[in-house]
Amino acid sequence: METQANSTKIMISNGVIVGVGTVLASAILYVAGLIKSTGWAANLLWFILMIALIVAGFNTFKKNNNGFLSLGQALKIGMGIAVIAGVITSLYQVAFNEFIDPELVKSITDEQLQKSLEMNPDMTQEQLDASRKMVEFFSSPGVIVGAGILWNCFVGFVISLISGLIMKKTEDSF
């Protein structure tokens, strides 16, 4: 039971750090007027935070578990961190798109459609309208939250699997 409490605390604290760190980076880029040109920087920070805090979570768990960490425990901790971070960042993205700057998505969409039209001048109005509808669908709150959490889970799983295989130490391995 002690192990469960430790892993839950690790998942919550590290997941919140990843989520809030990513939100802060995005907010800083937005305030600085750099979100369109350097939005990749927030994604890079998210990825670095995700790796660092999943590995740190494994280390903390091992320290509190007599040096042991199974692959199953690693996957559980890593996925917990990823889900919590995914919920935070996805909810922020929805709040951003709906309340903070609803025009940003529209302006990015317009720019992308303009580039598509320049690359393919024969696009019909129906094709442009269909493209716009698709972008609007993928920008809807439900899709953003669902895709954000799924993406975090996928990346968290891969990081947890690789790191867990490297860092695992079980009583059976002696």
Number of domains observed in the structure of the chain: 1
How far, in Å, CA of 137 to CA of 123, rounded?
20
pLDDT at 173: 63
**Which residue type is seen at 36?**
K
What pTM was computed for the model? 0.89
Q: 149 with 52: CB under 8 angstroms?
A: no
pLDDT at 1: 44
Across-strand partners of 169? 69
pLDDT at 5: 47
How far, in Å, CA of 33 to CA of 66, rounded?
48
Half-sphere exposure of 171 (CA within 13 A, CB side): 2
pLDDT at 59: 96
Work out the widest C-alpha separation in the chain, in whole angstroms.
Answer: 68
How far, in whole angstroms, is CA 164 from its chain's centroid?
19
Which residues does 173 contact at the CB level (< 8 Å), separation at least 6? none
Torsion of CA 81, 86, 87, 89, to 10 degrees: 120
What is the mean pLDDT for each group of 10 consecutive residues in the chain (174 residues)? Answer: 70 97 92 82 91 97 94 97 98 94 85 87 90 87 95 98 96 70
pLDDT at 165: 98
Tokens at 9, concatenated: 């605390």
Residues spanned by the domain of 12: 2-173
